[in-house]
Amino acid sequence: MIMAGLPADESLIGRILGHYRILDRLGTGGMGVVWLAEDLQLRRRVALKMLREDVARSPEKLARFEREAKAVAALNHPNIVTIHAIEEIEGVRFLAMEYVEGRTLDELIPPGGFPLPEFLRIAMPVAEALAAAHARGILHRDLKPGNIMVGPDARVKVLDFGLAKLQPGDATAIYGRELQSTLTQEGSVVGTLQYMSPEQLQLKHIDHRSDLFSLGIVLYEMATGDLPFRGESAAQVISSVLRDQPRRLDDLEARLPPEIADTVERCLEKDVAKRPGSAAEVRDRLARLVRAHETGQLHAGASRLRRLVNRVRRHTRPAALVAAGA
């Protein structure tokens, strides 16, 4: 990968760009390379997100980058990464952002999922971050465990709100072509395949409820250690997201309270109208569960018989409606 005017490999380490000293390479994203740097003026560590050369030279891609900066800068929340500055130094455009120490959630999810206390401790701030962003009219569009950081102090931060709502036509059709599991390249559907909503995959209009579907996938994986929609190819994953109904969490894990299973099940509804009305609603439900857990009032899932009865009730139409031919 080539950045505008600068190498993208480790030879950049140790160089000074303006008032930033490059310390290490943190990773690569769809827009460019992210570096760990020291702000020599303020004596703090920051993350510098530098644009690839092809992005910096494209008016359309550069406009997307600037939208990202403005979107993130508008969010001032303890669970959302902070943007410090939009910079252009020596012809290089980049964002100077808060450096978040810790590990990404995808590195932390254990086989079988988190115990209930840890699940709630992480789920609550993620929903809170989404609620704060949605209140400002900002969508994430790429929520996944790799974009959620858990620090050594247990603080949770959601990263990369920079994929905030693209204009119609920015994504190209994804069917009838070879797909990659991660579709974050420019000119492709924005988002990570396994965590995308049905409406994203179908290139339909999306709103905040698309993020809620992705949140439901993240919560499902946190609870079980497995993804609800899987496949051996991109096409199979897409088919699974569009058609499959995952098993309820309290069917899979008797240790999980039915209230959590209900919340996740609603987030994963294919019909957007059946999902929760807002991230704030999900946050409030999780907050009630946290309080119930802290007071000992939150109990594990119902017995196998009770779960079977509940399943039958959910999928059985009332007798009066059946008799009436409704």
118 neighbors 127 (Cβ within 8 angstroms): no
Cβ neighbourhood burial of 53 (10 Å; 0-12, 13-18, 19+): middle
3-state SS, residue 284: helix
Give CA angle at 183 (229, 190), nearest 5°: 100
- Which residues are annotated as catalytic? 142
Helices within the chain (DSSP H only): 53-56, 59-73, 105-108, 116-135, 198-201, 208-224, 234-243, 249-252, 258-267, 279-294, 304-315, 319-323
Residue 106 Cα distances to 60, 132, 195, 222, 225, angstroms: 32, 23, 12, 9, 10
44 alpha-carbon distance from chain centroid:
27
Name the amino acid, one letter, at 151: G
